[in-house]
Structure 1
């Protein structure tokens, strides 16, 4: 895992991923739980996390645009979770009461052979993966 990925995970864990969170928001507790459970999963902790709209996304690169090939998790208004993706246009995969179940659904749907996030953008994974296969950076 890169230092960049670790730093972003630490920031999300410390700030709940939002610059300002409304005091007493009913989504805050479930969101923090989801982030903690995802961070505890080694397969997800290796990806670059990013948040927005009470969703936790995972990218195989550290730059923007991110990759959109890993499902993401969001919090529903009732505090439950949903898993969607990997694209916004993809149908909802499932809804669940458990952050653990949501994280497991994402892990089950990881692209084959995807490894730790690389420094770069979504336009670069093919070049990176080619170098990774030959022992490059």
Structure 2
């Protein structure tokens, strides 16, 4: 695990991991739970986390353009979660009442040999893997 990944998880945990004000979005509390549950899993903690639209994404690289080969988890308004992906064009995999179940679904779908995150972007990771695999 790299310091870049540790720092990204720290940012996600401190930004979303503890809901601080009840007047904030109703999605904050379930999202905070999701972030804590995902961070507790070593296999996910070695990946680069990023967020958007109340979704938690995981990348095999640390810089934009991130990889889109890992499913992501979103928060629904009724304290439920959905798992989609890995890309935006893939259909929704499932909905669940449990952050633990959603995280388990992502872990079950991780690509073989996933992690730790590569220091660089998706293109650089692809070039590295191609060169490594051709040896």
**Under a length normalisation based on structure 1, what TM-score does the superposition of the two structures give?**
0.89
Aligned counterpart, 2:83: 83
Aligned counterpart, 2:23: 23
Give the C-alpha shift of residue 93 in structure 1: 0.3
Unmatched 5+ stretches in structure 1 = none
What SS does structure 1 have at the residue aligned with 2:14? helix
- Rounded to whole Å, the distance in 2 between the matches of 1:72 and 1:41 is 15
Question: RMSD in angstroms over aligned alpha carbons?
Answer: 1.9
What SS does structure 2 have at the residue aligned with 1:61? coil
Contact 1:118 1:128 in 2 (8 A): no
Q: Deviations over 1:61-93 (max 9, x none)?
A: 001000000000000111100000000010000
Give the C-alpha shift of residue 124 in structure 1: 1.6
- Rounded to whole Å, the distance in 1 between the matches of 2:33 and 2:89 is 26
Aligned counterpart, 2:67: 67
Aligned counterpart, 2:8: 8
- Rounded to whole Å, the distance in 1 between the matches of 2:66 and 2:53 is 16
- Rounded to whole Å, the distance in 2 between the matches of 1:22 and 1:9 is 23
Contact 1:62 1:117 in 2 (8 A): yes
Unmatched 5+ stretches in structure 2 = none
Moved over 2 A (4+): 21-24, 126-134
- Rounded to whole Å, the distance in 1 between the matches of 2:45 and 2:88 is 22
Answering whether residue 111 of structure 2 is matched by residue 96 of structure 1, we say no
Q: Deviations over 1:9-42 (max 9, x none)?
A: 001100118xxx9933211110000000000001
